[in-house]
Amino acid sequence: MGRIAVLGTDEIEQLLWTALVGRIACCDHDNGCRPYVVPLAYGYDGEAVYAFSTPGRKIRMMRRQPLVTFEVDEAIAEDRWRSVIADGEYEELTAPNARTAGLRVIFPDGDTPALAPETIVYRIRLTKKSGRYEVPDNPS
């Protein structure tokens, strides 16, 4: 066990910009309120997380209840990790220019894959962010 501390704003932003995979936690309050957590590749623009998906459980749940939580982490060892948790609100991007802008955030190099016509492009507007990290008590 090490020492757990609070990440500063700059460190929170750095992890959101660099993490490879994030996780969305959503809940369908109409069907027993069972939480659902799903990993995803994403893009970040400093205010929102952008992603895309075909219709399915995650999209159905976020349409019913757009208040979600987003999480990213980085672990080097069991006592060396960083984690950010953010509250957010789901929003589908339906206008062609909004979809294109969202995909540019996800694929900044411009190499956007061919997407099926039913693909949903969306963002999670982050409203509150917090972070923690752990370091060993006696680093070696």
Cα–Cα nearest to 133, from 5, 2, 1: 5
**Bridge partners of residue 43, in order along the sequence:** 50
- In the chain, what percentage of residues exceed pLDDT 90? 84
Token duo for residue 84: 């950010």
Asked whether residue 113 carries a pLDDT value surpassing 70, the answer given is: yes
Give per-residue pLDDT as tens, 67-102: 999 999 999 998 899 999 999 999 999 999 999 999
Q: What is the pLDDT of residue 62?
A: 95
Q: What is the pLDDT of residue 28?
A: 78
Break the chain into its structural domains and give their ranges.
Answer: 2-136
H, E, C per residue of 73-118? EEEEECCEEEEEEEEEEEEECCCHHHHHHHHHHHCCCCCCCCCCCC
**Distance between CA atoms of residues 3 and 73, nearest Å:** 17
2-136: which CATH number, 2.30.110.10, 2.60.40.1080, 1.10.10.10, 3.30.360.10?
2.30.110.10
